[in-house]
Amino acid sequence: MGRERTLYAAAALSLLAALVHLWVAPEHFEEWWGYGVFFVVAAAAQILYVPIVVLLPTRIVLLLGIAGNLAIVVLYLLTRTVGIPLFGPEAGGWRDSALWTCVPRYPSWGSRWRWAQRYCATPHPREGVRSCSSWPSGWSR
What digits encode the pLDDT tens for the residues 40-62? 999 999 999 999 999 999 999 99
pLDDT band at 118 (very low <50, low <70, confident <90, very high): low
Percent of the chain whose pLDDT exceeds 90: 49
Q: Is 43 helix (H, G, I), strand (E, B) or coil?
A: helix
Domain boundaries, position 76: 2-81
Residues 17 and 48 in one domain: yes
pLDDT value, residue 112: 46
Please report whether residue 127 resides in a domain. Answer: yes
**What's the total number of domains in the chain?**
2
pLDDT value, residue 92: 72
- Residue 141's CB is within 10 A of a number of other CB atoms, namely 6
Tell me the average pLDDT across 8-24: 96
Task: Examine the pLDDT at 111 and tell me if it is beyond 90.
Answer: no
Which residues in 111-129 are b (16+ Cβ under 10 Å) and which e?
eebeebbeeeeeeeeeeee
Residues 56 and 17 in one domain: yes
Residues 77 and 8 in one domain: yes
Residues 15 and 74 in one domain: yes
Residue 15, φ and ψ in degrees, nearest 5: -65, -40
Task: Examine the pLDDT at 13 and tell me if it is beyond 90.
Answer: yes
pLDDT band at 139 (very low <50, low <70, confident <90, very high): very low
Residues 119 and 66 in one domain: no
* Cα–Cα distance measured from residue 22 to residue 44, given in angstroms and rounded to the nearest whole number: 9
Give the ranges where 32-91 is alpha helix by DSSP (H).
Answer: 33-55, 59-81
Please report whether residue 122 resides in a domain. Answer: yes
pLDDT band at 14 (very low <50, low <70, confident <90, very high): very high
Please report whether residue 93 resides in a domain. Answer: no
* Cα–Cα distance measured from residue 111 to residue 7, given in angstroms and rounded to the nearest whole number: 35
- Residue 11's CB is within 10 A of a number of other CB atoms, namely 20
Q: For residue 129, what are the β-bridge partners?
A: 123
Residues 8 and 54 in one domain: yes
Return the half-sphere exposure (C-beta side, CA atoms, 13 A cut-off) of residue 118. 5
pLDDT value, residue 84: 79
Q: What 8-state DSSP symbol labels residue 13? A: H
pTM, full prediction: 0.66
